[in-house]
Structure 1
Amino acid sequence: MKRLLVPLAVAGLSAATLAFPTSAEPHWATDNLQPKPADAYGAAYFWLDSNGAALRKATQYRLDTKSVPKLVSSGSNSTPDGKPGMTGATGTTKPGVTKNVNLPKTIGKVFFLDKSGHYRWCSATSIQSRNRNLVATAGHCVFANGKDDVYDKWVFVPGYYQGKAPFGIYAGAYAFTAYDLDTYDDYDGDFAFVAVHNGFALAGEKEVSHKDFKAWAGDKWIKPREIDAKEFAKCQINLGECWSVGEDKPADLVGPDYPGAVLEKVEVSKETYNAANTGRGQGFKFGDPVVEQVDKAAWDAYKGPGEKGSGPDKFGNYTITHYYTQKWVRPGTSRKYYEAHYMIGIARDMGRLGDVIGGQGVAWNQPMGQSVVAFGYPSASHPDGDRPFSGVTPKWCAGKTGTKTYQVNTFRVDTHQVLKCSMTPGADGGPWLMRYDNGKRSGYVNGVTSMFHDQDGNGRIDFISSAYFDGEVAAVYNKAQYAETKSIVGPRGELLK
């Protein structure tokens, strides 16, 4: 895909909103995910189909590294490249409570296919934006490492839980990140803002006429129903869509040792049974005679070759003695007949992401040492192999970020901020919320989890790190705010053009 690189100078941003040194104009990179409704619908349906089977199959994404990357103190505070700034959160309703921290409704998982075709997920959050359609996550959860491309079938599922999308699924349309991450794999810019289409949910299926089926732009399929030969003939006369499979072929008599031979029993007369051989073979006796006790009506109605006894006995029963011989056959086949039933999948538009679940605020150029609450869906094991998190439910860490910035030489990092936290990979992309209001369940995104570190070397993750949110992050954020998206399904559940 062709990448658009735009300097801040042409962004049309208000100087009163952001101020940057003239010698350090920030740049950003943007790429298309699924801007067309048909592609967005296809990506969302891929994850929702079969009751969310693909969602449940996905595993956490993690950076391609053989060992946990080490943090090296830069020995200095981060230097803001402009004035501090922030945008406020949009309102949300109250979800449940976890311990003493109320989980924000805005968090969820992003799902995508990595470059090997594996089903992956990261953590993310909805954020406030002018079009109420932005998701914040780690850059490595959107942009492929070392490739001029983004991941396929990228969607956001807020409130995700065990294959369920309670607030709908939101397909990514446009992705924005730091120019240096995209071009040089510089993880100082390991963040991304993704503009998503309106969410939608699957709302069942409906049988329609062939005419309506052909005109339907959404998901559709033909469901076959088995019919008999008479219904098949009628279907052909009425020019319906019907077909047959196989052929009528009678069973053939074979020997008992013929491959695939099936043993059947044949009722015969007493005389035929007595004349038959005992053993295993065509026409040989099939077990001992069977005496059946029946009532008077069944006894009178019986016309078979068996022998009727006298009756009734003292209990009022009559008897019929049945005699059987062996019949070895190669099973025959019968033609099956089917007719088409035309089915369409109905989808329901869920509205804009920010209108459904709200959005967290965003802050940049803030002093170090901020009190934050970091959220995410940790899942991977610690370096020592212990796996305390399942990735099923969100977790959190609370504390103050470090007062110094850190380097991670493996990933060209010079200015990451750090937080003491034991969450493991899977929490990648989860928000660091500054000034978190536990009652309103909102705050300001001042970082997103990028990397995981074992600083004391005991085989346990003890720190996580994030890009420092500076003026360049704000520039990318403001650029992303202008991305317009729309509904991908109409009022009848149809796919829009």
Structure 2
Amino acid sequence: MPPRAKRIALTFCGALATASVILSAGPAPVQALASSRTAPAGITSVPLAQSDADLRKVVDWWTPDRLKHASSYAPKTAASNSGTNGTNGTGSASGTTPSATTAAVTPAAAAAGRTTSTPASNTTALSGSAPPKASTALKLRNPKLPPTVGKVFFRNGTTEYWCSASSVHSKYGNVVATAAHCAYDVKSGKPVENWVFIPSYVGNGETPFGIYVGHTLHLNDTYAATGDFDYDYAFVTVHHGYQWVQDNDANGNVKKDAKGQPLYKRVDMGRLESQVGGQGFAWNRGFTVAAYAFGYPAGPHPNGSRPFTGQTMESCLTKNTKKISTQKWELDKGVLFRGCGFTAGASGGPWVIKYSSTRRIGYLNGVNSLTWDLNGDGRYDGVSSPYFDTATYLVYSYAARQKTD
């Protein structure tokens, strides 16, 4: 293909519901958030469902029936004019051809958890926690995939969306890492609503490790203010998990309501990390790494083909990521995962380095943020993450010290 004929299409990788609500992800003034002033400089912390009343609203919203139908959402994609349009978890937007840039990073000393140094690099990393043996005993679609990875569901306005995410190790075992655009609407300056994380989500609505309601959203101030995709990451602390189970009478028969529908009761699942473990965390690793990317892609490629359903976890492997940028999304120091054909729905899914398929943990070193059509053939063939640097670590470490119930 002649160089001039090549084009690069970008899209956020979050998946959305069928309702038509267009929201800008571009720069816009944000409302002052009182809660963010209690966080250190550079970090915005926003309450999600902290009170008992707010928690109950979220629990009541995500009923067993609603969860069963959640993966039937048809991701919405903007019409393509020249192969540069795409979608994100909060609306539609256009992409542009990237250009090379440079960015300096500074290593930071670890302050939360046990630290390790990765051989042959200047990486500082925090070790994760492996899933309990009970997790590995479950019959998962692929026993080598990490149970830490799952789906997040939420509402923005009147529309329901989903993205991908992962449990990451923390002092209180309650932190989920995802993309910032999967939790915060820059245009309104507000977080999304009814945010829940379901690890190892299965398309039929099963929640083998429980449902975890978001307590507090932590993100970089720059993303909250401008939507700069160099900071498209977020860390959400969550409440203890719960699971819906059918409610039986004394004879073991399923209780039913007046309409004959099964009744369910809520069962406490405890802390997130006690169920699935938590990935470690690494930053200032450099732009060239070997990594796995995980997520729940579902949307179509620019050419309309739809290879994924969004009902099962998918993975990609690369031996060498590289630096990439795009002026459109203010991405100056992105990391490109070439050869990964993820589509909408994969946003927020983790990039894991030094992943052990036996222990099913490694080190979180990125999140799916933008998908790319690098050769202009109408199919996404790359996904990028913001570079995990000292600023990323500061947001993560602040979230990792927050206790929830």
User: TM over 0.5, yes or no?
Assistant: yes
The aligned runs of 1:316-327 (5 Å cut-off) are none
Q: 1:51 to 1:27 in 2, by over 3 A?
A: closer
Q: Counterparts of 1:464-483 in structure 2 under 5 Å?
A: 464-483=383-402
Coordinate RMSD, CA, aligned: 2.8
Distance 1:181 1:382, change over 3 A: same
Aligned counterpart, 2:98: 71
Letter in 2 for 1:356: Q
Aligned length: 337
Q: CA deviation at 1:3?
A: 4.3
- The residue identity in structure 2 corresponding to 1:366 is R
Taking the TM superposition and a 5 Å limit, the aligned residue runs for 1:50-65 are: 50=65, 52-53=67-68, 55-60=70-75, 62-63=87-88, 64-65=91-92
Q: Quick one: distance in 2 between partners of 1:147 and 1:103?
A: 36
The 5 A counterparts of 1:74-473 are 74=101, 76=102, 78-83=103-108, 84-92=123-131, 93=133, 94=136, 102-115=144-157, 117-162=158-203, 163-205=205-247, 346-403=265-322, 405-420=323-338, 421-473=340-392
Distance (whole Å) between structure 2 residues aligned to residue 50 and residue 370 of structure 1: 41
AA matched with 2:35: L
TM-score (norm 2): 0.77
Using the alignment, how far apart are the partners of 1:54 and 1:384 within structure 2? 26
- Could you tell me which runs of 5 or more consecutive residues in structure 1 were left unpaired when the two chains were aligned: 12-25, 209-221, 226-342, 487-497
Q: Which has the larger displacement, 44-53 or 133-142?
A: 44-53
Instruction: Name the SS of the counterpart of 2:190 in structure 1.
Output: coil
Question: In structure 2, do the counterparts of structure 1 residues 5 and 455 end up closer, same or farther at CA, with 3 Å as the change threshold?
Answer: same
Q: Aligned residue for 1:292?
A: none
Matched with 1:33 is 48
The one-letter amino acid paired with 2:178 is T
Q: Which has the larger radius of gyration?
A: 1
Contact 1:70 1:454 in 2 (8 A): no
The answer as to whether partners of 2:212 and 2:239 remain within 8 angstroms in 1 is: yes
Q: Deviations over 1:156-207 (max 9, x none)?
A: 0111112221111100000001100001111110000000000011233478
Provide the TM-score with structure 1 as the length reference. Answer: 0.63
Match of 2:28 in 1: none
**SS at 1:140 equivalent:** helix
One-letter identity of the residue aligned with 2:129: T
CA distance in 2, matches of 1:223, 1:366: 55
Where 1:411 maps in the other structure, the secondary structure is coil
Structure 2 residue matching 1:385: 3-state secondary structure: coil
Gaps (5+ residues) in structure 2?
Answer: 1-31, 77-86, 109-122, 251-255
Query: How many angstroms apart in 2 are the aligned matches of 1:357 and 1:135?
Result: 12
Mean CA deviation greater in 151-160 or 64-73: 64-73
Contact 2:280 2:363 in 1 (8 A): yes
Q: Measured at CA, do residues 3 and 109 of structure 1 come closer, stay the same or move farther in structure 2, by a change above 3 Å?
A: farther
> For the residues of structure 1 that align with 2:215 and 2:227, how far apart are their CA atoms?
22
Which digits, 9 at most, give the CA deviation of each residue in 1:297-355, with x for residues without a partner? xxxxxxxxxxxxxxxxxxxxxxxxxxxxxxxxxxxxxxxxxxxxxx9963211000001
Between the aligned partners of 2:75 and 2:399, the Cα distance in structure 1 is 26
Q: Is the 8 A contact 2:180 2:234 kept in 1?
A: yes
Superimposed CA distance per residue, residues 31-71 of structure 1 (whole angstroms, 9 cap, x where no aligned partner):
01101133223213311343634534545584234445433
Match in the other structure for 1:280? none
C-alpha separation in 1, matches of 2:362 and 2:258: 53
